[in-house]
Amino acid sequence: MAKLKIVKYGDDTLRKTCRPVDTITPRVLTLLDDMVETMRAADGCGLAAPQVGILRRIAVVEVEPGEVYEMINPKIIARAGTQEESEGCLSLPGKWGTTRRPMHVTVRYTNRKGEVVEASGSGLLARAFCHEIDHLDGVLFIDNALNVIED
């Protein structure tokens, strides 16, 4: 596994729409492993492929230690409720903002074994799912933040 370089705000890669993954190759599996390592090394709770310069629909989320969601071609299929909470991003160090996100979401994605699975989350997990999936469409949290604060 390798720690990857995180792309920072201002890089055009963060504003592009990612392509779907058609086949799970050894390269995709290595990318998942490297993204988890990179996310953990940066003390994040999520990381999307464009944040490491790769325009593919891949994201990882880990809100609870050891409970990692490795998502290939993720899509939100259900949302309910609302929450307004502070949010940051590894690609925008030092920036925080209050965002309005669903309180509960269900996500459908393909896992590393090629299985289509669904995962539901509330609170921080729901926010992390939404945040990372937004990245895959070139959307940053500051685009919808109610306010943005710099450290």
pTM: predicted TM-score of the whole model, two decimal places: 0.96
Phi, psi of 52 (to 5 degrees): -115, 20
User: Has residue 22 got a pLDDT over 80?
Assistant: yes
Instruction: Render pLDDT for 130-146 as a digit per residue (tens, 0 to 9).
Output: 999 999 999 999 998 98
User: Has residue 99 got a pLDDT over 90?
Assistant: yes
Interatomic CA distance for residues 150 and 30, integer angstroms = 34
Average pLDDT over every residue of 79-90: 96
Query: Using 50, 70 and 90 to split pLDDT, how confident is the model at 151?
Result: confident
Percent of the chain exceeding pLDDT 90 equals: 93
Query: Using 50, 70 and 90 to split pLDDT, how confident is the model at 14?
Result: very high
Query: Using 50, 70 and 90 to split pLDDT, how confident is the model at 74?
Result: very high
Determine the pLDDT at residue 150: 84
Q: Among the options 62, 70, 87, 132, which is catalytic?
A: 132
In the chain the domains, ranked by start, together with CATH numbers, are 12-150 (3.90.45.10)
64 classed as catalytic:
no
